[in-house]
Amino acid sequence: MSLILHPNIKNTDGFYDTLLGAHDGLSKSESDAFNARLILILANHIGDREILTQALLAAKL
C-alpha cells in the first residue's frame, strides 16, 4: 500500500463544505484544537505507520 494522492473523495465540494461548516463559530484556538483532534482521528483510522510517514512527507512544502 502507498499513500493515495489521486482524487478519492466523492462529491468533493460537498465534503469541503461540511469540513468548513464544522469550524463555523469556533475561535482560532478552538479551530486549531478541532484540527488536531481530526488529524489524530484520521491517523488512527489509517493505522499503517508507513502510510502515515508518507502523509507527513506529502504535507511538507
CA 59 from centroid of its chain's CA atoms: 10
Residue 39 lies near other proteins (rule: CB under 8 A): no
**Residue number with CB closer to other proteins (24 or 49):** 24
Residue 56 lies near other proteins (rule: CB under 8 A): no
Of 1, 2, 28, 49, the one binding other proteins (CB under 8 A) is: 28
18-51: burial string, b at 16+ Cβ within 10 Å, e else: eeeeeeeeeeeeeeeeeeeeeeeeeeeeeeeeee
Contact set with other proteins (CB under 8 A): 4-9, 12-13, 16-17, 19-20, 23-24, 26, 28, 31, 58-59, 61
